Structure 1
């Protein structure tokens, strides 16, 4: 009987020793929006919206610019480094610039907001990201469909008068 108790205590001791080590795997960084937004994108469509006409229910208040002014050639590269941090951006294609064609970029937040707030793509002229040149509202975050949409809004006296809606598709 004494042998059985010793054997039983030995087995319980081995089992409990194995339970003391917690192995949750290796630490990985959280998935940020930079992993979804960073990369090369081509234009699917570009729409110009007359915000004044839209606010006053005047027609037409939208115009498709996709096939005009060579915008079919519009591409944007939102570069990230090996740690998925934003670096530079570049617009390619022989298109009239609606915002600075080269510079540096960042998002207003690393993660998708849980409230109704929007994410802004902030464009800078310097690598230190101190000279803001423009901001684009991210209206559709890429998902499994590899499509993204952002909006450039022009204001006068704080009131929007025109906006440009860019629909983009990832370039693989």
Structure 2
């Protein structure tokens, strides 16, 4: 009887030790927003909002620019290197530039913010990323639908007066 108890305790000890070391596969880095936005994006919709008119309930406060000024040809290419770090960006298409048509970029954060704050896309004219040319807000992050929305806000004296919302879908 005593040997059965010792045998049972030994088996339970082996099971307890074996259960503490689960093998659930190898470590994989989390998916960053850089991975999600990498590539070429085509314009689905471009909306201009008169922020002053909107704030003062003056209509119309919005205008769809998608079919005007060749914006139907607008594409944005965001490039990353083999380590998923941002490199260059380029606006493609014969469209009036709303922001610098090429340069370098980076995000304010590689991951979604827990407080829901929009991630910013910083645009630079130099590879060292010291000369900021524009700042875009990443309003909606691509997911399973491969769409994203970015917003460019123009201000004067710290007050927004016009914004542009680009709804984009993945081209590649």
Q: TM-score, normalised by structure 2?
A: 0.88
Equivalent position of 2:170 in the other structure = 170
Equivalent position of 1:131 in the other structure = 131
2-structure distance, mates of 1:24, 1:101: 46
User: Is the counterpart of residue 82 in structure 1 residue 82 in structure 2?
Assistant: yes
The structural deviation recorded for 1:11 is 5.9
1-structure distance, mates of 2:5, 2:59: 90
1-structure distance, mates of 2:144, 2:74: 22
1-structure distance, mates of 2:20, 2:143: 40
2-structure distance, mates of 1:123, 1:64: 24
User: Is the counterpart of residue 120 in structure 1 residue 120 in structure 2?
Assistant: yes
1-structure distance, mates of 2:101, 2:13: 67
Equivalent position of 2:150 in the other structure = 150
- Unaligned 5+ residue runs, structure 1? none
Alignment map for 1:37-52 (pairs within 5 Å): 37-52=37-52
Show CA shifts across 1:113-171 (max 9, x none): 11132111111111111111100011111111111111101111001111111110111
User: Is the counterpart of residue 92 in structure 1 residue 83 in structure 2?
Assistant: no
Residue 25 of structure 1 aligns to a residue in which SS? coil
Gap change, CA 1:159 and 1:5, over 3 Å in 2: closer
Residue 35 of structure 1 aligns to a residue in which SS? helix
The structural deviation recorded for 1:97 is 0.7
1-structure distance, mates of 2:56, 2:84: 43
Equivalent position of 2:62 in the other structure = 62
2-structure distance, mates of 1:67, 1:35: 30
RMSD: 2.1
- Unaligned 5+ residue runs, structure 2? none
Residue 34 of structure 1 aligns to a residue in which SS? helix
